[in-house]
């Protein structure tokens, strides 16, 4: 049974609305506006409206990173200039909200694949905020090309901006499922979304499998996407069954632990070094919590904590005694601190028609693949329209070359040469206009040969595009080729594409006996005599052997 949030009786006119009915209607309009226009990402391109507008505005400003063909990228500009253009043209909201979105897209510890290349202070893992927008600079990152490259080729629908002065894209072409790639988070009225980031190469493999197996289940896709891939690394310790259930339903969470190693300091001493912490956990807050637990004597195994981090995370934990089991020490810290955290997953996204839905992994990838097919068809039809227009002009120009003298005579002698050309050579208005705009230097035999070659090339391209539009198999093969090309550029063989988060099983540790854990383990020799006496010999490093006899009966 489907529940409806609001089903008021339609009044005869606005004048007859009661206060309660008016409040209900106004609240529903506000709620839908927040859900569709601000809080939830679109399943097609994975962007919320403010993010999409920032990327599109920066593209219009010429702030691209540069293409794979060797084109030079733009110089970064002040973030304040970007925010001003976004607010003035597309996003009539607060400047701080727009700048916060820009900052997050530039943080390599917040997004797995940052979409903006930022210069200046854009915050840190300690939880420090970014510098003011007048002090930072930004341009588009290289991977943002995958969102924007085809936007001028008729691939997406454009809608009027807030004041009708210009247009903005409803969606971006998105050659990757960015809602899974970088994740998303947002809170709307009565609903929220929280999607962790994933690995690009794994998503490409899953999408390719789904192209060849359209009815593949989420369980089958999990052989390619074992779980999230966080920018800050960490170890995912959930069992495979729990992860599979989370991806099937689109709701759940992941247990993420810090990555640590035991570092030998010689002479029997050791320490624990934490090199990766869970996603979105501020390092400074974690250090403060550990220091607080030490001061309050809530972790008797831990003596000290030091932050030796530079660019990489390095948190040193000193045990209270060398006899402490490091596994037991870390398990106690996992229970008491954010060295273990839960990352929620709620894949609530806007689907076709801007309807919010919670989708599983397979459904999200299908929605994105359908978007890519729509983009391919729109791009092909746009190109086909361009080819038809050019072929029409080429055919008119080739007619002219058959009788150049007559054409020149008409242009020189007639008062309305355009009408005379249309009448004499049976041309249309477009062809006649193109002939009149042709330069005299182009009226040579070599130019005629080039026009014939262009006509032949475009005719073949038109045939190929028509064949593509008529064949579903060719369309999916083209999409698969595009996915493989993206994987080659940003896949696991590249520095940015390597998986950062690993998987492991959490050790089974019962209730920790503090007394037993602090007992020092040392070698002990026990001697039993025939006359009923027992002697123990305890050997200590740097000390003499101690022994004594005692009766054991």
Contact 147, 55 (CB under 8 A): yes
Q: What is the arithmetic mean of pLDDT over 393-418?
A: 85
**Predicted local distance difference test score (pLDDT) of residue 543:** 46
Lowest mean pLDDT among 6-20, 412-426, 490-504: 6-20
Which of 270, 280, 272, 278 has the alpha carbon at shortest distance from 314? 272
What pTM was estimated for this model as a whole? 0.85
Q: Could you tell me what percent of the chain has a pLDDT over 90?
A: 61
Please, what is the average pLDDT of the chain? Answer: 87
**Predicted local distance difference test score (pLDDT) of residue 539:** 55
Judge whether residue 221 has pLDDT over 90: yes
Judge whether residue 403 has pLDDT over 90: no
**Predicted local distance difference test score (pLDDT) of residue 434:** 86
Judge whether residue 2 has pLDDT over 50: no
**Predicted local distance difference test score (pLDDT) of residue 1:** 38
Judge whether residue 509 has pLDDT over 70: no
pLDDT digits (tens, 9 = 90+) for 145-203: 999 989 999 999 999 999 999 999 999 999 999 999 999 998 877 788 999 999 999 99
DSSP, res 90? T
**Predicted local distance difference test score (pLDDT) of residue 537:** 65
Reported confidence tier of residue 477, pLDDT bands at 50, 70, 90: very high
**Predicted local distance difference test score (pLDDT) of residue 183:** 92
Judge whether residue 541 has pLDDT over 50: no
Cβ neighbours of residue 57 under 8 Å, at least 6 residues apart?
82, 85, 86, 89, 90
DSSP, res 42? B
Contact 231, 104 (CB under 8 A): no
**Predicted local distance difference test score (pLDDT) of residue 5:** 41
Pair of tokens at residue 535: 């002697």
Q: Could you tell me what percent of the chain has a pLDDT over 70?
A: 88
Phi, psi of 397 (to 5 degrees): -65, -40
pLDDT digits (tens, 9 = 90+) for 340-357: 999 999 999 998 767 889
Q: Which residues are catalytic?
A: 135
Reported confidence tier of residue 228, pLDDT bands at 50, 70, 90: very high
Spatial distance between the Cα atoms of 342 and 112, rounded to a whole number of angstroms: 18
Judge whether residue 315 has pLDDT over 60: yes
SS3 357: strand
Which of 42, 28, 12, 58 has the alpha carbon at shortest distance from 352? 42
Question: Which residues is 251 bridged to in the sheet?
Answer: 346
**Predicted local distance difference test score (pLDDT) of residue 8:** 44
Q: What is the arithmetic mean of pLDDT over 521-536?
A: 75
Q: What is the arithmetic mean of pLDDT over 530-544?
A: 63
Spatial distance between the Cα atoms of 506 and 489, rounded to a whole number of angstroms: 35
């Amino acid at each position: 049974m489907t529940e409806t949030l609001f089903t008021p009786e339609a009044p005869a006119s606005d004048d007859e609305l009661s206060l309660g009915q008016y409040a209900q209607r106004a609240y529903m309009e506000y709620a839908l506006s927040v859900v569709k226009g601000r809080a939830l990402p679109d399943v097609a391109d994975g962007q919320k409206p403010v993010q999409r507008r920032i990327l599109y505005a920066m593209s219009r400003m010429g702030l691209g990173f540069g293409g794979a063909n060797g084109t030079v990228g733009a110089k970064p500009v002040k973030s304040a200039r970007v925010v001003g253009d976004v607010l003035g043209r597309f996003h009539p909201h607060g400047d701080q909200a727009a700048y916060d979105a820009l900052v997050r897209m530039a943080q390599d510890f917040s997004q797995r694949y940052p979409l903006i290349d930022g210069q200046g202070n854009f915050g840190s893992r300690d939880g420090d905020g970014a510098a003011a927008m007048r002090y930072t600079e930004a341009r588009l990152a290289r991977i943002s090309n995958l969102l924007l490259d085809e936007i001028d080729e008729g691939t997406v629908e454009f809608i009027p901006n807030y004041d009708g002065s210009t247009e903005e894209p409803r969606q971006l072409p998105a050659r990757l499922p960015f809602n899974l790639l970088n994740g998303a988070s947002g809170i709307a009225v009565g609903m929220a979304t929280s999607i962790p980031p994933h690995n690009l190469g794994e998503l490409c493999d899953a999408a390719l499998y789904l192209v060849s197996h359209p009815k593949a289940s989420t369980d089958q896709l999990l052989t390619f996407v074992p779980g999230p891939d966080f920018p800050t690394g960490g170890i995912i310790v959930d069992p495979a069954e729990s992860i599979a259930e989370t991806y099937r339903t689109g709701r759940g969470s992941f247990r993420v632990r810090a990555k640590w190693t035991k570092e030998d300091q010689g002479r029997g001493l050791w320490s624990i070094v934490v090199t990766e912490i869970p996603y979105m956990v501020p390092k400074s807050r974690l250090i403060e919590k550990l220091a607080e637990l030490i001061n309050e004597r809530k972790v008797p195994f831990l003596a000290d904590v030091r932050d030796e981090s530079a660019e990489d995370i390095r948190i040193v934990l000193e045990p209270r005694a060398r006899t402490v089991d490091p596994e037991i020490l870390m398990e106690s810290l996992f229970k008491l601190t954010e060295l273990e955290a839960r990352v929620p997953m709620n894949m609530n996204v806007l689907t076709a028609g801007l309807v919010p839905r919670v989708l599983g992994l397979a459904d999200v990838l299908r929605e994105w693949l359908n978007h890519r097919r729509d983009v391919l068809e729109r791009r092909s039809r746009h190109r086909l329209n361009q080819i038809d227009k050019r072929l029409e002009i080429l055919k008119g120009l080739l007619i002219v070359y058959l009788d150049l003298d007559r054409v020149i005579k008409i242009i020189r002698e007639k008062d309305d040469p355009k009408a005379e050309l249309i009448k004499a050579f049976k041309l249309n208005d477009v062809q006649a206009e193109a002939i009149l705009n042709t330069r005299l230097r182009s009226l040579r035999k070599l130019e005629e040969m080039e026009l014939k070659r262009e006509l032949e090339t475009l005719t073949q391209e038109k045939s190929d595009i028509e064949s593509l539009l008529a064949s579903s198999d060719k369309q999916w093969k083209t999409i698969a080729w595009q996915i493989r090309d993206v994987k080659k550029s940003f896949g696991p063989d590249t520095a940015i594409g390597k998986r950062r988060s690993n998987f492991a099983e959490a050790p089974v540790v019962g209730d920790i006996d503090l007394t037993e854990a602090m007992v020092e383990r040392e070698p002990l020799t026990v001697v039993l005599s025939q006359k009923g006496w027992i002697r123990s010999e305890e050997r200590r490093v740097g000390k003499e052997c101690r022994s004594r006899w005692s009766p054991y009966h």
